[in-house]
Amino acid sequence: MNKYLDINPEVAAAIAEGKPVVALESTIISHGMPYPQNVETALNVERIIRENGAVPATIAIIGGRLKAGLTAEEIEYFGKKGTAIHKASRRDLAMLCARGEDGATTVTTTMIIAHMAGIKIFATGGIGGVHRGAEVTMDISADLEELGQTPVMVVCAGAKSILDLGLTLEYLETKGVPVIGYGTEELPAFYTRQSGFGVDYRVDSPEELAAAFKASQDMGLKGGMLVTNPIPEKYAMPLDVINAAIDQAIAECKAKGIHGKETTPFLLARVSELTGGDSLASNIRLVYNNARIAAQTAVVYSKL
């Protein structure tokens, strides 16, 4: 057991007994949406995972402790503190623990802590990736590196559509990460179901997902597996509307000189404003959908 890691008793018992567990990130709580909507969404995601037969484990850093499984009170704390909490990537873990500070986990750090705890499957909204213009800025999310080295299945709605999706797929291919479309042969683009880019494989059931990940684990392959699950049709946004909002947000981001880890929160918030809140509503629904598929897959995986 890692001396910096605290596993919630319910989560620890489920892991010890081989029961299904699904990890959840905490950046979506602190940086993804305003209070109290962030807390309501986080608790709803946990409820959906339970309804589908698995135990939720929201992951965060509190007081320098790596937490695998938050209480409702801790989720409330994160929701109220919001963006005052440090957005923690791999480079931040040691310093936050040494200083006894709080940290909201990204896809990267959620994968790391989930792996430490023995949790195999993780549901999120969308992964980070290669930012537009990265050939000049070198702005590439640490999520891609983590997927290449940490054996956790990540269920998402694709890479965030503010990114360069083509370059993101090329990067994942270089790292040997399989990109799997759930019920689709086309990479979903977060707010929309289409991107114009294909995935490596299509699967149509939790059973197929669980079998593929079990094979990867049995072979000792070190990297993760990326499952891209399209946003439900009725919550998807028109491609032209979301692209226009993204283009404007990116132009404003450049004009303001925003870069690094502040880029994605700014872009997502600005896109939400430009779409009259429609993108935030879509974001919430796609997270719910991913939680459902992740829980169903975890249930099957626990029986293999």
Q: Active-site residues: which are they? A: 25, 160
What are the structure tokens assigned to 173, written together?
Answer: 């291919």
Rg (CA), the chain: 18
